Structure formats: structure tokens, C-alpha cells
């Protein structure tokens, strides 16, 4: 950004995309888990070893692909095409007027609204388009699989780089919602002041290839560090009233 460009003084809302802007009940994590498993098996790993490694990499790195690149030298773009790229998203998702209204009601004179995703930009943009909100999310900071040394949530560098891209210097200006408690905690630890954990408690989804009941590893309404926990996106109106049109 050139010195002549004016600094954007507005705060910024960072939206996780997968399993946050749509419900885990869409079944996308299940379809994704199957594809990632097939990818591990395609590397020549036996079935049980594939499951074990898939879950280990997810837990350790926040993303299976991070471990695959690090330990198996796979081509992340090939992985993206075969996993996210082959998801039948048009069958699993549809335009969401409630989400659209929520994003429309955010006061853009006060905040910018950006995506912050561990997916590659192709998948992120596809999801936003199908949900019918691509025009309401100004920019997406994504996981750059084309760089072999890419960062992802919950690594601090990923959040710091996102701030740099957006030209934000004060972490207390950051609003953030994510369905991963690890991601939210990592952002909170960097001083992101307005963190929300989106937790569809009790719903069954797939995490690192394993079925899991959402929320089984966290307490109810308030997580650590005053992180708010919500089960419906519309509750953001109550949690962040200052960023909505009056």
C-alpha cells in the first residue's frame, strides 16, 4: 500500500467461512472427510494408518493438508482440486437470505467485512457465491496453497499476515467468528478483542476425518477469555450491537 493511500480507520470483521457461514448440518465436513481420506489412501497408506494420520495432522496443524505438505511432499494444489474442488457444493448449499440480511445490516461506515479461511480462494469464493453473499464480503484472506510454506489458522503468523493485508495495526479493532475454538483462542491470544466461537452444540460433524459432536470439548455460553459462544449467526446482533445499523 502506498504512503499516499489513506489508512482505513474502520474496524474489521473477519468471518470464517466453512461450517460458520453455513451450518454443519449441510454435511460438507462429512463429504470433505471422505475425500481427504481417499487422498491419504491414494498415497499408498493402509486404511487405518490413513485415518490415524489424517486426524493427527488435523489436530496438530489445524489442517490435514499442512501435514501432507510437510511430511509427504504432496502438491497442495492437486490436493485442493481433488478434495475441496470436487465437493458437490451446489447440491449441499443454497442461497441463504437470513445470512444475507445479517451481512446487509452491518454498518459499513463502522466496519469492513472480510473472510478469513483455511481453504484456498477457489473454494472460499465458490461457497460465498452459492450462499449468495459474495458481494457482501469485501475481501477474503485465504490459505495460499500455491506457496509450499503457507500458514494457516491457528498459527499466529496467519492472523498477523491477515492484519497486514488489511492494513490493520491495532488488533483490538478485529472482530472474528469461527467454528473452531482453537482458531478463536489463537486470535484472542493476539489481542483480537471481539472473538466469537460459533458452536452448533450437539450437531454431529466430521473433524479431521472423525465424527464428533460439536461442543463436546467446551463449556456452554462463555468460553475462556470472555470469548462469546453463539449457536445461531443472528446472535451476532446481540454480541456485537455496535457494528449493526441502528
Ranges of H-type helices in 13-120: 28-42, 47-61, 64-72, 76-82, 89-92, 97-104
Residues 6+ apart with CB under 8 A from 214: 24, 179, 199, 200, 201, 202, 203, 204, 205
Question: Of 20 and 51, which CB lies nearer to Mg ion in the complex structure?
Answer: 20
- Report 19-48 residues binding Mg ion (CB under 5 A): 19-20
Dihedral angle of Cα 213, 125, 136, 141, to the nearest 10 degrees:
80
The residue range among 15-23, 36-44, 135-143, 218-226 that interacts with Mg ion, by the rule CB under 5 A, is 15-23
Residues 19 and 39: their CA atoms lie apart, in Å, by 21
Q: Which of 84, 179, 200, 207 binds Mg ion (CB under 5 A)?
A: 179
Q: Which of 16, 84, 96, 207 binds Mg ion (CB under 5 A)?
A: 16
Question: Of 16 and 96, which CB lies nearer to Mg ion in the complex structure?
Answer: 16
Q: Is 84 in the site for Mg ion (CB under 5 A)?
A: no
Q: Which three cell numbers stand for residue 126?
A: 465458490
Q: Give min distance, CB of 55 to Mg ion, in A.
A: 17
Helix axes 28-42, 64-72, angle to 10 degrees: 10
Number of residues that bind Mg ion (CB under 5 A): 5
Q: Give min distance, CB of 183 to Mg ion, in A.
A: 7
Q: Give min distance, CB of 6 to Mg ion, in A.
A: 33
Phi, psi (degrees; rounded to nearest 5) at 145: -65, -15
Residues 235 and 201: their CA atoms lie apart, in Å, by 14
Q: Give min distance, CB of 185 to Mg ion, in A.
A: 14
Question: Of 14 and 39, which CB lies nearer to Mg ion in the complex structure?
Answer: 14
Question: Of 119 and 243, which CB lies nearer to Mg ion in the complex structure?
Answer: 119
The residue range among 25-33, 121-129, 177-185, 210-218 that interacts with Mg ion, by the rule CB under 5 A, is 177-185
Q: Give min distance, CB of 4 to Mg ion, in A.
A: 37
Residues 21 and 17: their CA atoms lie apart, in Å, by 5
Q: Give min distance, CB of 129 to Mg ion, in A.
A: 18
Residues in touch with Mg ion (CB under 5 A): 16, 18-20, 179
Amino acid at each position: 500500500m502506498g504512503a499516499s493511500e489513506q489508512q482505513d480507520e474502520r474496524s474489521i470483521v473477519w468471518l470464517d467461512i466453512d461450517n460458520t457461514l453455513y451450518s454443519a448440518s449441510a454435511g460438507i465436513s462429512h463429504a470433505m472427510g471422505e475425500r481427504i481420506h481417499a487422498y491419504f489412501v491414494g498415497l499408498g497408506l493402509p486404511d487405518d494408518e490413513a485415518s490415524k494420520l489424517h486426524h493427527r495432522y488435523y489436530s496438530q496443524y489445524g489442517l490435514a493438508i499442512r501435514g501432507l505438505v510437510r511430511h509427504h511432499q504432496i502438491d497442495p494444489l492437486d490436493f485442493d482440486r481433488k478434495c475441496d474442488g470436487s465437493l458437490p457444493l451446489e447440491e449441499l448449499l443454497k442461497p441463504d437470505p437470513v445470512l444475507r440480511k445479517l451481512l446487509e445490516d452491518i454498518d459499513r461506515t463502522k466496519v469492513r467485512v472480510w473472510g478469513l479461511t483455511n481453504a484456498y480462494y477457489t473454494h472460499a469464493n465458490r461457497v460465498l457465491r452459492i450462499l449468495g453473499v459474495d458481494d457482501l464480503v469485501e475481501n477474503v484472506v485465504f490459505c495460499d496453497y500455491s506457496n509450499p510454506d503457507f500458514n494457516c489458522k491457528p498459527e499466529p503468523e496467519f492472523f498477523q499476515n491477515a492484519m497486514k493485508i488489511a492494513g490493520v495495526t491495532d488488533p483490538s479493532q478485529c472482530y472474528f467468528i469461527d467454528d473452531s475454538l482453537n482458531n478463536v483462542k489463537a486470535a484472542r491470544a493476539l489481542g483480537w478483542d471481539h472473538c466469537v466461537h460459533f458452536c452448533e452444540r450437539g450437531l454431529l460433524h466430521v473433524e479431521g476425518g472423525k465424527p464428533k459432536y460439536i461442543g463436546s470439548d467446551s463449556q456452554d455460553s462463555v468460553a475462556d477469555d470472555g470469548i462469546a459462544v453463539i449457536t445461531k449467526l443472528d446472535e451476532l446482533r446481540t454480541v456485537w450491537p455496535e457494528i449493526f445499523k441502528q
